[in-house]
């Protein structure tokens, strides 16, 4: 079995060589991880009260997203995220307001209300590629983004994130295969959270690890403790540096545990052993990082409390504001299919708008997402 890199142990003690990270960056990392937790909590409440239709809990995996994203340069690097990577957006300063707009699918949502909640897309302040529900399709796309960087002689790197389930997909194979052949500046980050909805890792693959899968593609594989934000940071930082210098791709397996459901509609108690959950609760990534920051004298209880208070209020206000914003206009059903409007879409758009403008009965909008 490949060795698993750890820097902070579950008790918050330093057991490995910590990467050199500026104090302000460490605090930004902590803030991003805490933001995810507050945001998740709010989204769960919003979904349970019927205000939004769906969300994806990030509980337990915050260190993977944030530790990885913190190594990127937003000027030149791209993120091809999975749907469980809210922390990547928060670390790079994408506001809770923007995130909430997508959760509500309102008129200010960057996706214009066309995607389900969670399928965020951003251009700024970092390229955060459009999230797709089909699994693994973004891996070869990330390689293509990176191959374009090679051709433009840019120094950028594309970080692509996916789950353990994603390693079974067609895109995992084609993505790693192409990246290996062309030495693309891409970093493959597998968030091995042990579950693909209800399918456990041992039914996903018979491989001794996910990291080892890189070997067959000529790509080095690295395994890290995914609940240790500094270990994730160090592994991804090294892989990003290598890719930037023309050394080609790396596959990183961050071993963690999904501590919530697959989504707001999933009940993991039906298939996850409670004892296992109790075991993983002791490895909580946020608590572990907090203990570390306390020990290093970079944060204290009062600071944590103030931050929690601030985030809670900010996210609650963002949800309230997002809920109050008007919906996208009917014309957005038809725009952005192509850059310009073909004749048949102009006709359909005009008919649709006219049809609903002339109706006084309300539209039945019932519908609940079952997954």
Partner 1 sequence: MSKLTLVQAVNDGLRTKMQEDASVLVLGEDVGPKGGVFLATEGLTAEFGEERCFDTPLSEDGIIGVGIGMAMNGMRPVCEIQFQDFIFPAFDQIVSEAAKMRYRSGGQYSVPMVIRTPYGGGIRGGLYHSQSGEAYFAHTAGLKVVIPSNPHDAKGLLISAIEDPDPVLFMEPKALYRAFRQEVPEGKYSVPLGSAQTLREGDDAVVFCYGAMVPVCQEAAGRIAEQKGQEVRVVDLRTLLPLDEDAVLDAAKACGRVVVVHEAPRFCGYGAELSALIAEHAIEYMEAPIVRVTGFDTPFPNTLEHYYLPDARRVTDALERVLDF
Task: Identify residues 243-282 at the interface with partner 1 (CB under 8 A).
Answer: none
Tell me how far apart the alpha carbons of residues 209 and 219 are, in angstroms, rounded to a whole number.
Answer: 14
Residue number with CB closer to partner 1 (178 or 292): 178
Residue 151 or residue 359: which is nearer to partner 1 going by CB? Answer: 151
- Collapsing DSSP to helix, strand or coil, 270 comes out as helix
Residues 153-212 that bind partner 1 (CB under 8 A): 158, 170-171, 173-175, 177-178, 181
> Which position among 2, 4, 9, 130 is part of the footprint of partner 1 (CB under 8 A)?
130
Q: Rounded distance, CA 105 to CA 72, Å?
A: 28
**According to DSSP H, which parts of the chain are helical?**
23-48, 62-69, 86-91, 96-104, 138-151, 170-182, 201-204, 229-244, 274-281, 285-295, 301-324, 343-357
Stretch that binds partner 1, among 66-74, 138-146, 203-211, 354-362 (CB under 8 A): 138-146
Applying CB under 8 A, among 123, 324, 357, 363 the residue interacting with partner 1 is: 123
Site for partner 1 in 322-341 (CB under 8 A): 335-339
Q: Is the dihedral of CA 365, 95, 137, 154 positive or negative?
A: positive
Q: How far is the CB of 131 from partner 1 (least distance, A)?
A: 9
In this structure, are residues 369 and 53 in contact, taking their beta carbons and an 8 Å threshold? yes
Query: For partner 1, which is the closer residue by CB, 247 or 342?
Result: 342
Catalytic residues: 258, 262, 271
Indicate whether 103 belongs to the interface with partner 1 (CB under 8 A): no
Among 2, 6, 9, 121, binds partner 1 (CB under 8 A): 121
Record the tokens describing residue 93, joined without a space: 């300063």
Among 119, 223, 283, 290, binds partner 1 (CB under 8 A): 119
* CB 243, CB 150: distance < 8 Å: no
Could you give the CA distance from residue 260 to residue 238 in angstroms, rounded to a whole number?
30
Number of neighbours of residue 284 by Cβ within 10 angstroms: 20
Tell me the closest approach of the beta carbon of residue 34 to partner 1, in angstroms. 28
For partner 1, the binding residues (CB under 8 A) are 78, 109-112, 114-115, 119, 121-123, 129-130, 132, 134, 137, 139-152, 158, 170-171, 173-175, 177-178, 181, 335-339, 342-344
């Amino acid at each position: 079995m490949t060795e698993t890199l750890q820097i902070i142990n579950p008790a918050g003690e330093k057991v490995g060589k910590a990467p050199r990270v500026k104090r302000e960056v460490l605090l930004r990392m902590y803030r991003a991880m805490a933001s995810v937790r507050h945001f998740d909590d709010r989204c769960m409440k919003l979904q349970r009260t019927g205000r939004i239709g769906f969300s994806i809990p990030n509980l337990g995996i915050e260190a993977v997203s944030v530790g990885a994203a913190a190594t990127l340069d937003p000027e030149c690097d791209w993120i091809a995220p999975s749907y469980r990577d809210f922390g990547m957006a928060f670390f790079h300063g994408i506001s809770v307001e923007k995130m909430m707009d997508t959760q509500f699918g309102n008129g200010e949502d960057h996706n214009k209300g066309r995607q389900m909640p969670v399928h965020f897309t951003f251009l700024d302040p970092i390229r955060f590629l459009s999230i797709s529900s089909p699994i693994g399709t973004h891996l070869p796309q990330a390689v293509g983004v990176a191959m374009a960087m090679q051709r433009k002689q840019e120094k950028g790197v594309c970080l692509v994130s996916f789950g353990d389930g994603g390693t079974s997909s067609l895109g995992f194979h084609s993505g790693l295969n192409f990246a290996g052949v062309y030495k693309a500046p891409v970093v493959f980050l597998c968030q091995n959270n042990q579950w693909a909805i209800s399918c456990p890792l041992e039914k996903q693959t018979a491989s001794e690890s996910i990291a080892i899968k890189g070997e067959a593609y000529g790509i080095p594989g690295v395994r890290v403790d995914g609940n240790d934000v500094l270990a994730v940071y160090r592994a991804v930082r090294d892989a990003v540096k290598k890719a930037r210098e023309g050394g080609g791709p790396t596959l990183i397996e961050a071993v963690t545990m999904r501590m919530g459901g697959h989504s707001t509609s999933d009940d993991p108690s039906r298939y996850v052993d409670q004892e296992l959950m109790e075991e993983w609760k002791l490895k909580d990534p946020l608590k572990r990082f907090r203990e570390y920051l306390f020990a290093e004298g970079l944060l204290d209880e009062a600071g944590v409390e103030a931050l929690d208070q601030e985030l809670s209020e900010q996210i609650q206000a963002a949800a309230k504001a997002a809920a109050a914003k008007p919906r996208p206009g009917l014309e957005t059903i038809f725009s952005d299919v192509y850059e310009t409007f073909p004749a048949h879409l102009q006709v359909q758009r005009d008919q649709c708008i006219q049809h609903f403008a002339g109706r006084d009965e309300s539209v039945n909008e019932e519908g609940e997402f079952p997954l």
